[in-house]
Each structure stands twice: as structure tokens, then as C-alpha cells.
A = this chain, B = another copy of it.
Amino acid sequence: MTQSSDTTSYKDIKQTVLDRIRSGAWPPDALLPSEQELAVEFSCTRTTVNRAMRELAEEGYLERRRKAGTRVLSAPQRQARFTIPLVRDEVGALGGTYRYALVSTETGLAPEWLAARLALRPGQTAAHVRCMHYSTNTPFQFEDRWIIVDSVPQVEQADFTSVGPNEWLIQTVPFTNVELTFLASRADETVAGFLDLPKDEPVFTAERITWLQGQPVTFAKMYFAAGYRMTTQF
């Protein structure tokens, strides 16, 4: 059989199911017909129904369990997806000209709070890199990053004067797990200075921890300039 415009595609099914959920025809907790039955209704194969329902479940609308069937989630656990761009790209997308500047680098014993946070072994060393990202010469982000030397030995030879540590890391080491945290912090002397705002000002802050197969790779705190908004649509 062909799938010309008269055929029901998995997208059509998704839309129809969504409409039924939204219209209340299939209210929360309702048990949906089985894939087999839906396949008959939409006159397509179960494969096609399966794809539609699987995706709707991934998107947080449905809950599926073998034998138990498919039901509508009462509180749609919809998830916001934030695409985390490179600062360079983000600045570009906002219409600015990107500029990078290294602030400081030094390597030494990881401070206690970092060792605790990343569960480091005693005596492990870390490279501490601080740098600035500008958008058309106004401060955009202050980055305060630690890179675990044992996990990334190449960092000892790295030169961060023209390439930021983030871009360098992406090119150099892969990662398997990330923990990303957003919070509001208060600008201390240093952050206020670099971001060109009054001390104690609220600063949108992102913390990012990256692992490679259980090995901690890097910890980064990113302080954003005043008025920064992290937005997503879905």
C-alpha cells in the first residue's frame, strides 16, 4: 500500500489523539483503546499507531504499560526543553558581535568545596579558568570554571587566551552526563566588577557539572549580565 495523502500518518493520529484529549473526549486517567483497535479505527497498521502513541508518551501526554494499556496522564508532565547553545552562538543569535577574553588561569589542588561537590579523591588537582564573554563590547557572561586534571590531562598544555575553555572542552573531551542548575545569586565584588553592575545585584546563574563515564570532567559557574532571560517555547 502507498502512503499518499489519503493514508493516515502517525502525525495525523497524534493530532487526532491530542484533539480528543484536549476536547475532553478522552479525559485524564481514561483508558484508551488498544493499538489494535485504533489501527482498525484509523485504518492503518498497528506499527503506525504505535509510533504515534509512543511519541505522545515521550512528550508526556500518555502513560503506557504493557498489558495495562494506554491512559491519559492527569497532570500532563510536559517537559520544557532548553537548547543550550554555545555562548558564541547565543550572542550571535541576539545580534551582537562575540568577543572573548581570558581573565585568569591557574592549576592547583582542588578546593575543598569542589572536591566535595564532585566527589574527588584527596589530592586531585584542577585547572581554574575564569573568562569573560562579551556581546558587542558589553559584558554578557562571566564564566568561572574548574577542569579536573586527572580526567583531562591535556588541559595542562591548553591555551585559553583565544579559545574559551568551553569550546576547547567540547573539541577535546566527550562527556556522558551533565547536571545543569539554574539559580539566582547575588553579585559579589568580582562578579559585579566583570559584569559591570552594582554589587549585590541579582545575577542569573547557571552551574554545570559534566562527567565522562562517572569521572568528573568539569564544573562551571556562568554568571549572566543583568536582564538575562532563559526562555523556551513548547
Contact = CB atoms under 8 A, between A and B. Distances in A.
Interface of A: 21-23, 60, 75-86, 89, 170, 174, 176-186, 200-205, 228-234
Contact of A183 (B86, B177, B230): B230
Given A183-B228, A228-B183, A177 B233 contact: yes
Contacts of A182: 182, 204, 229-231
Contacts of A22: 174, 176
Contacts of A203: 184, 202
Nearest to A173: B22
Contacts of A183: 184, 204, 228-230
Contacts of A180: 80, 231-234
A79 B82 CA distance: 5
Given A84-B78, A179-B233, A184 B170 contact: no
B83 A79 contact: yes
A186 B198 CA distance: 13
Contacts of A78: 84, 178
B184 A184 contact: yes
A202 B187 CA distance: 9
18 contacts: A21-B174, A22-B174, A22-B176, A60-B83, A77-B85, A78-B84, A79-B84, A177-B234, A178-B234, A182-B204, A183-B184, A183-B228, A184-B184, A184-B185, A184-B202, A184-B203, A185-B202, A202-B202
Contact of A229 (B81, B181, B233): B181
A82 B80 contact: yes
Contact of A83 (B77, B201, B202): B77
A78 to B, nearest CB: 7
Given A177-B233, A184-B203, A80 B84 contact: yes
A22 B211 CA distance: 13
Contacts of A81: 79-82
A101 B177 CA distance: 39
A150 to B, nearest CB: 18
Contacts of A79: 81-84
A89 B73 CA distance: 14
4 nearest A-B residue pairs (beta carbon): A202-B202, A184-B184, A22-B174, A184-B204
